[in-house]
Amino acid sequence: MKNQEKFDMTKSRFENLFEEKLSYERQTRDDDHLSKIINALKFQNSDKLMDLGTGTGYIAFTLAKENPNLQIVGLDIVTNALKANTEKAVKEQLDNITFVEYNGMNIPFQDNTFDCIVTRYAMHHFTEIEKSFKEIYRVLKPGGQLFISDPTPNERDENRFVDDFMKLSKDDGHIQFYKKEELETMASTAGFKIDDYFMTEIRFPSSSRTEGYRKIEHELPISIKESYDIEIINEEVYITEKVLNISFLKPLA
């Protein structure tokens, strides 16, 4: 499948998913995790920050309300979500936040625009991950921060079962979860320096993967099932994934 086809599939999937906002937030909302991310971000109150893959604006709206002088751009591929977010920002009289659509690869801003870029649960959908790192590096100011939060294969999953599991939902647009050293290599190639990291977890249900999981369940090693704590409850398959939260910095010179 070509990258454009993957992008179109992902966009279509999320256009539909964001129509079911409660379902999406049920899978991804975690206020404790959000607090940890915000505490790890390096910005001043008058800086410019991008929420890359903003979705429902979970991070963007929280930051906008808590930091009225912080200029925030929520970037995403999902037209419906961006429209809803814009309407919400107007309704809540938040004039320090805007939402912009892009094509999933080329970030529509000039060089050295942002002081901080944060992305949560989005990197595994990027069809050209190396290009994305280069684009992020380009639009960050020297000294700026890139903060990534995304699931990662656990230490027992040498064969990346978790990627196969995510792809059981055919229209999910999942590309790949990355290990810490893989992200570090790509970030370093783009010019970034490693700053810091911490680990968290996410446990979420999925009804779209239940049928596919039942077909492969008998083939899975017990160690994999246990390490991801996989179980089916009320026709939804639950999985617990490790989440890598990692910070990179663009050098000053």
User: What's the CATH code of the domain at 182?
Assistant: 3.40.50.150
What is the structure's pLDDT at 155?
A: 94
Structural contact between residues 154 and 162, judged by C-beta atoms closer than 8 angstroms: yes
Give the pLDDT score at 28: 74
- Give the pLDDT confidence score for residue 5 in this predicted structure: 58
Residue 82's pLDDT is what? 94
Q: Domain residues for 15?
A: 3-203+242-249
Is residue 173 one of the residues assigned to a domain? yes
One DSSP character per residue, the chain reads: --HHHHHHHHHHHHHHHHHTHHHHHHHH--HHHHHHHHHH----TT-EEEEET-TTTHHHHHHHHH-TT-EEEEEES-HHHHHHHHHHHHHTT-TTEEEEE--SSS--S-TT-EEEEEEES-GGG-SSHHHHHHHHHHHEEEEEEEEEEEEE--TT-TT-HHHHHHTTSTTS-------HHHHHHHHHHHT-EEEEEEEEEEEEEESTTHHHHHHHGGGS-HHHHHHTT-EEETTEEEEEEEEEEEEEE----
| Any domain includes 169 | yes
Residue 134 domain-assigned (yes or no): yes
What pLDDT, on the 0 to 100 scale, is given for residue 45? 83
231 within some domain: no
Q: Is residue 129 part of a domain?
A: yes
Domain count, the chain: 1
Q: What pLDDT is attached to residue 253?
A: 73
Asked if the structure places residue 160 within a domain, the reply is: yes
Give CA–CA dist 53/236, Å, rounded: 26
Q: What is the maximum alpha-carbon separation in the chain?
A: 55
pTM value is 0.91
CA 14/CA 121 separation, integer angstroms:
13
Question: Per-block average pLDDT, block size 10, for the chain (253 residues)?
Answer: 55 55 64 96 94 95 96 94 95 97 93 98 93 98 98 95 92 89 98 98 93 94 96 96 98 88
Give the pLDDT confidence score for residue 1 in this predicted structure.
53
In this structure, is residue 224 part of a structural domain? no
pLDDT score, position 170? 73
Domain assignment present for residue 237? The answer is no
